[in-house]
Structure 1
Amino acid sequence: MLWNLSICFISFVFLMMTSVSLFTLGVLSLIKEFTLFLEWEVLSLQSTSIVMTFLFDWMSLIFMSFVLLISSLVIYYSEEYMSGDYNINRFILLVLMFVMSMMLLIISPNLISILLGWDGLGLVSYCLVIYYQNVKSYNAGMLTALSNRIGDVALLLAIAWMLNFGSFNYIYYLECMKTSWEMSFIGCLVVLAAMTKSAQIPFSAWLPAAMAAPTPVSALVHSSTLVTAGVYLLIRFNALISNTGISSFLLLVAGLTMFMAGLGANFEFDLKKIIALSTLSQLGLMMSILAMGFPKLAYFHLLTHALFKALLFMCAGAVIHNMKDSQDVRNMGSLTNQMPYTAACLNVANLALCGMPFLAGFYSKDLILEMASLSNLNMFSFFLFFFSTGLTMCYSLRLVYYGLIGEFNPSVCHPMNDEGHIMLRGMSGLLLMSVIGGSMMSWLLFPTPVMVCLPLGLKTLALTVSLSGGWLGYEMAKFGIGEKVKSLFNYKKVVFMGSMWFMPFLSTYGVTNTPLTYGINLVKSMDQGWSEKFGGQGIYENLQNSSMLSQWFQNNDLKVYLTTFIFWIMILFLFSLA
C-alpha cells in the first residue's frame, strides 16, 4: 500500500513542479516573443540520418503546463478514488503514458512525431476505456479505437503527401506553400483527422461511450488531452484552412455538433454522459471559432475549458463514489446538505461552463460570442452559436436542480459525506484555477484590452439567451418535463433528440449491419452452399453412393453372376438367329 501511495504522490509532485516550470517558461516566451526550435539527431548511418524535431514556443509551453497541472491533480485525486484497485500502479502508469503521448503531440512540428503522439493517445485511451474489463467497456473501447483509426489513416495519407515538399516538417511550408493544391489536400486530411479526434459530426458517438473509463480518466481525457488534440492540431494548421471552403464546411459541422450535443444533454439522465455531451458542445464551439479565423481565441477557450471541465468531472466522480456507483441524476438530490464542499465545487464549475461573469469560462466564451456577433456570419450559424449557448445554461441548471437542490432521492442508508480529504484537496487546486484562470490567461494572451463595440441588443444577447436557457432548464427539471415529454410528443422524436441524432446506432449497427448481412448470406450460399455441394460434401456423397453400390454388388455376387449369365446366353441366342 505504501508503494501505491508513493507512486501517486511522486507523480503528483513531479508533474506539478514541471507544470509550474513550463508555465514560467511559456510566459517568458510570450513576453519576449521567443521560440526554440530543437533538432535531435537520433541516428546517423552512412548518408541517412533520423532527426527528431521539437518546437517550444509560448503556445506549446503554456498548453503543456496546463496538461501537466490537470494530470498531477487527477493522479493525486486517483489515490483515493482508485484506492480499492489492486492494480493502481498499472493505472497510474497508463495515465502517465497518456500524458507523455500528449506531450509529444504538443511539441511536434513534424507530422511523423505527431503521428507517434496521436497513435499513442489512441492506443492508451483504448487501454483506459476497457480498464474495468466488462462487455460495455469492450464495446466502448472498440468504438473509440476504430473511430480514431479513421483520423490516423488521414494523418498517414498527409505524411505521404508531404513527400511532395521533401520534408515532414509542415511548419516550414504552411505560409509559403498554402496556395498549392497539394498543401490544400493535406489541409483537408488534417481537418478529417481533427474531426475524428475531437468527435465532430459524424464521429461523435465515441465520446459519450468513452465514459466507460474510470472517472479520473474522464476528467483527463475530456479536459486537456485526447479530445483537445484535434483542436490543437487545427490551431497549428490554421493558415491552411482560414478563408477557404474547408473552413466553411468546418464551421457548419462544428455548429451542428454544438447544437446536437446541447440538445442531447437536456434529455440525458446519466451524470457522466451529461458532462461528456457538454464537452462535445464546447469542442464544437472551439472548432467554430477556429473555422471563423480566430485561432488565438480557440486556444484561449481550450485552456479555460480544460480547467473547469476537469473540476466538473472530479466533482461528478466524488458524487458517484459516494452514491455507491449510481450515476442517475434522478437518484440524487439535496447534495448541498450532504456534501457541501463538493456541491460548491460543482456549482463553480457549472457556472464557469455557463459563462458566469469573472469566472474562467466567461472571459473566453463571452469574447467568442461577441466576435461571432461582429463577424460576417449567416443567420443559421448565428442561430447555432447563441441557441447552443442557451442550451448549455439549460442543461447546467437542470443538472444543478436534479443533483443539488431538488428533493432528496437517495436510499435511506446513504453513505454520502465530504470526508474524502485527498479527493477534496485534488479538487481545490482546480477550484482556484476555475475562478482565476480565465482572467490570468486573458491578461497574458490579450495584453491590449479587446474592445468589441456592438448595439445594445447584440451586446446583451449572450446574457439574454443564457438566462432564458437557465430558467427553461430549471423549470424542465422542477416539473419533470424531460420525463413527461414522451407522452406529449412522438416517442421517436424524443429518441432522435436524446440519442445524438441516432449517431451511436449509425456508428455501430449502421456500419456493420449491411456487411454482416451480406457476409452471412454469402457464407450460406457459397461456403455452406455451392462450395459444399461441389466440394467436400458433394465428393463425400458421391463416394458414399459408389461405395454402397459396390457393397451391394459384393453382397449379392451369386445373383449378379446368374443374372449376367442369362443375359449372355440370350445375347448368344440372338446372334445365332441372325
Structure 2
Amino acid sequence: MNKMFSICFISSFFLFFFFLINFFFTLYFILNDMVIFMEWELISFNSMNIVMSLLFDWMSFMFMMFVSLISCSVIYYSKSYMSSEMNLNRFILLVLLFIMSMIFLIISPNIISILLGWDGLGLVSYCLVIYYQNLKSYNAGMLTMLSNRIGDVFILMVISWMVNYGSWNYIFYLNFMINDVEMLIISGLIIVAGMTKSAQIPFSSWLPAAMAAPTPVSALVHSSTLVTAGVYLLIRFNLLLMDMFFLKLLLLFSSLTMLMAGISANYEFDLKKIIALSTLSQLGLMMSVLSMGLPDLAFFHLLTHAMFKALLFMCAGTIIHLMNDNQDIRLMGGLGLYIPLTSLCMNISNLALCGIPFLAGFYSKDLVLEMVVMSNLNILIFFLYYFSMGLTMFYTIRLLMYLMLNNYNLLSIYNLFDEDYIMLKSMFMLLFMSVVTGSILSWLIFSIPYMIYLPLNLKLMILYVSFLGACMGYLISKMSIYSSNKFLMFYELSLFMSLMWFMPNLSTYGLNYYFLSISQNMINKIDMGWSELYSGQGIFYIIKKYSVFNMYIQMNNLKIYMFSFILWMMFMFLLVIILN
C-alpha cells in the first residue's frame, strides 16, 4: 500500500513541478510575445515527408499549466479517495496516460499528431469509464466510445482532405486559404469533430453517462481535458469559423445545448449528473462564444471554468464518499453542520459557477454576456444566453437547498466523520485558484484594457437574471422538498425535460442501435450468409450431400436400384416418343 501511495505522491509532485515550469514559460512568452514552432523529419521517402511538429506559444503553455495543476490535485486526492482500490497504481498510470494524451493534443499543430492525442483521450477515457466493471459502466463506456468515434472519423476525413495541400500542418493554411472550397469542407468536418468531443447537441448524451467513472476521473475529464479538447481544437482552428453558415449553425446548436443542459439539471437528482449537466451548459457557452468570433474569450472562460468545476467534482466525491456511496440528493441534507470545510469549498465553487462578483467565473461570464449585448445577434440568441444564465443560478440554489439548507434527511445513519485531510489539502489548493484565477487571467490574456459602455439596465441585467434564477430555485426547491412534487402534475413534460430531450434514447436505441443492427444484418447476410454459401460451408454441404448419396449406392440398396431403373426407363420412353 505504501508503494501505491508513493506513486500518487511522486506523480502529483512531478505534475506540480511541471505546473511551475509552465507558469514561468507562460509569463515569459506573454511578455515577449513569442511563438516557437519546432519540427523535425521522421521519414523522407521520395517526395513524401513525415514531419513531427510542435507549437509552443502562450496559449499552449497556459493550458498545460492548468491541466498539470488540476491533475496534480486530482492524483493527490485519489490517494485518499481510491485508498481501498487494490490496483491503485494501474488507476494512476491510466490517469497519467490521459494527461499525456491531452498535453500531446495541446502542443500539436499537425492534424496527424492531433489525431494521436485525440484518439488517446478517447481510448483512455473508455478504460476509465468502465473502471468499476459493472453493466452500467460498460453501457456508459460504449456510449462514450461510439459517440466520440464520430469525431475521430471526421478528423480522419480532414487528414485525407488535407493531402490535397501537401502537408498536414494546419497552421500554414489558415491565413491564406479561408475562401477555398476544400477549406470550407475541412472547416465543416472540424466543427462536427469538435461538437462530438465537447458533447454539443445532438451528441450530448455521452457526457452525463461518463459519470460512471470514478469521481477523481470526472473532476479531471469534465474540467480541463476530454470535454475541452473539442473547444481547444476550434480555438486553434478559429479562422476556419469565418464562414457564416457554419457560424450560425454552431451558434444555434451550442445555445440549445446551454438551454437543454440547464433545464435537465433542474430535473436531476443524481449529484454527479447535476454537475455534469452544468459542465455541458458551460461547454455550450464556450462554443457559442467561439461562434461569435471571440476565441480568446472562449479560452478565458475555459480556464476559469476548469478550476471551479474540478473543485466542485472533488467536493461531490467527498460527500458521496461520506454518504456510503449514495448519490441521491434527496437523501442528503444539513451537510454544512457536519462537514463544514467541504461545504465551504462546495459553496464557493458553486458561487463561482454562477458568476457571483469577484470570484473566478464572474470575470469570464460577465464579459461574455456583455459581449453578447454588444454583438449584432437576434433576440432568440440573446434570450437563450440570459435564460441559461438564470437556469445556472436556478439549479445551483436548488442543489444548495437539498445539500445544505434541507433537514437531515438520511434513510439510515451514515458515517459523517470529520473530513479527510488529504482530500482537503487538494481541494483548498483549487479553492484558492477558484477565487483568484479570474482576475489574474483577465490581466494576462487581455493585457490591453477595453472599456465596455452599456446602459445601466443592460449592465445590471446579469445581476437581475441571477437574482431571479436564485429566487426561483429557492421557491421551487422549497415546494419540492417539503411537499409533493408539483412537477409530477406535468408528467410527460417532466419526462421529456429530465431525459435531456430524449437524446440518450436517440443515441442508444436510435442511432447506435440502428447502425449496430445494420452491422448485425450485414454479418448474417454476407459474412455468415452468401460468402459462406459460396465458399467453405457451401462446398462442405455439397460434398456431404453427394457423399451420402454415394454411400447409399455403395450399400447396394434395392430401392435405389429400382428407383433409378424406373427413372431410366421413363427417360428412354420419352426419348423414343420425341424422336418419332
TM-score with structure 2 setting the length: 0.90
Q: Deviations over 1:425-470 (max 9, x none)?
A: 0101000000011111111112233321112221111111111111
Cα separation, partners in 2 of 1:74 and 1:521, compared to 1, 3 Å:
closer
Contact kept, 8 Å, 2:184 with 2:240, in 1: the verdict is yes
Aligned to 1:472: 472
Q: Deviations over 1:408-427 (max 9, x none)?
A: 11244221133311011010
Displacement, 1:164?
Answer: 1.9
Contact kept, 8 Å, 1:219 with 1:310, in 2: the verdict is yes
Aligned to 1:485: 486
Aligned to 1:336: 336
* Structure with larger Rg: 1
Aligned to 2:390: 390
Q: Deviations over 1:335-370 (max 9, x none)?
A: 001100000000000000000100000000000001
Aligned to 1:185: 185
Aligned to 2:299: 299
Contact kept, 8 Å, 1:275 with 1:312, in 2: the verdict is yes
Q: Partners in 2 of 1:243 and 1:522 — Cα distance?
A: 39
Code of the residue aligned with 1:467 in structure 2: it is: F
Aligned to 2:195: 195
Q: Deviations over 1:282-320 (max 9, x none)?
A: 000000011001111000000000000000000000000
Cα separation, partners in 2 of 1:183 and 1:523, compared to 1, 3 Å:
closer
Contact kept, 8 Å, 1:342 with 1:424, in 2: the verdict is yes
Cα separation, partners in 2 of 1:415 and 1:457, compared to 1, 3 Å:
same
1:95 partnered with 2:95: yes
Q: Deviations over 1:107-159 (max 9, x none)?
A: 11111111110011011111111111111111111111111111111111111
Q: Partners in 1 of 2:75 and 2:59 — Cα distance?
A: 24
Cα separation, partners in 2 of 1:521 and 1:241, compared to 1, 3 Å:
closer
Contact kept, 8 Å, 1:64 with 1:106, in 2: the verdict is yes
Q: Partners in 1 of 2:529 and 2:106 — Cα distance?
A: 53
Cα separation, partners in 2 of 1:483 and 1:507, compared to 1, 3 Å:
farther
Aligned to 2:572: none
Q: Partners in 2 of 1:13 and 1:549 — Cα distance?
A: 81
Aligned to 2:275: 275
User: Structure 2: which 5+ residue stretches go unaligned?
Assistant: 567-580
Contact kept, 8 Å, 1:336 with 1:404, in 2: the verdict is yes
Cα separation, partners in 2 of 1:180 and 1:406, compared to 1, 3 Å:
same
Aligned to 1:323: 323
How is 1:46-445 mapped onto 2 (pairs within 5 angstroms)? 49-242=49-242, 244-445=244-445
Displacement, 1:471?
Answer: 1.0
Contact kept, 8 Å, 2:7 with 2:89, in 1: the verdict is yes
Q: Partners in 2 of 1:540 and 1:47 — Cα distance?
A: 54
Contact kept, 8 Å, 2:342 with 2:419, in 1: the verdict is no
Contact kept, 8 Å, 1:242 with 1:292, in 2: the verdict is no
Q: Partners in 2 of 1:96 and 1:64 — Cα distance?
A: 14
Q: Deviations over 1:392-413 (max 9, x none)?
A: 0000000001011111112442
TM-score with structure 1 setting the length: 0.90
Displacement, 1:12?
Answer: 0.7
Q: Partners in 2 of 1:229 and 1:407 — Cα distance?
A: 40
State which drifts further: 27-36 or 282-291: 27-36
Q: Partners in 1 of 2:232 and 2:292 — Cα distance?
A: 15
Q: Deviations over 1:361-394 (max 9, x none)?
A: 0000000001001111101111110000000000
Q: Partners in 1 of 2:344 and 2:250 — Cα distance?
A: 37
State which drifts further: 4-13 or 412-421: 412-421
What is the DSSP-based 3-state SS (H/G/I as helix, E as strand, rest coil) of the residue aligned with 1:418? coil
Q: Deviations over 1:242-298 (max 9, x none)?
A: 352111110000000000000000000000000000000000000001100111100
What is the DSSP-based 3-state SS (H/G/I as helix, E as strand, rest coil) of the residue aligned with 1:502? helix
Q: Partners in 1 of 2:35 and 2:484 — Cα distance?
A: 55
Code of the residue aligned with 1:91 in structure 2: it is: F
Cα separation, partners in 2 of 1:541 and 1:169, compared to 1, 3 Å:
closer
What is the DSSP-based 3-state SS (H/G/I as helix, E as strand, rest coil) of the residue aligned with 1:178? coil
Contact kept, 8 Å, 2:184 with 2:243, in 1: the verdict is no
Aligned to 1:568: none
What is the DSSP-based 3-state SS (H/G/I as helix, E as strand, rest coil) of the residue aligned with 2:201? coil
Aligned to 1:457: 457
State which drifts further: 69-78 or 181-190: 181-190
Aligned residues: 561
Cα separation, partners in 2 of 1:514 and 1:5, compared to 1, 3 Å:
closer
Cα separation, partners in 2 of 1:341 and 1:238, compared to 1, 3 Å:
same
1:26 partnered with 2:26: yes
Code of the residue aligned with 1:511 in structure 2: it is: L
Q: Partners in 2 of 1:361 and 1:312 — Cα distance?
A: 13
Code of the residue aligned with 1:492 in structure 2: it is: E
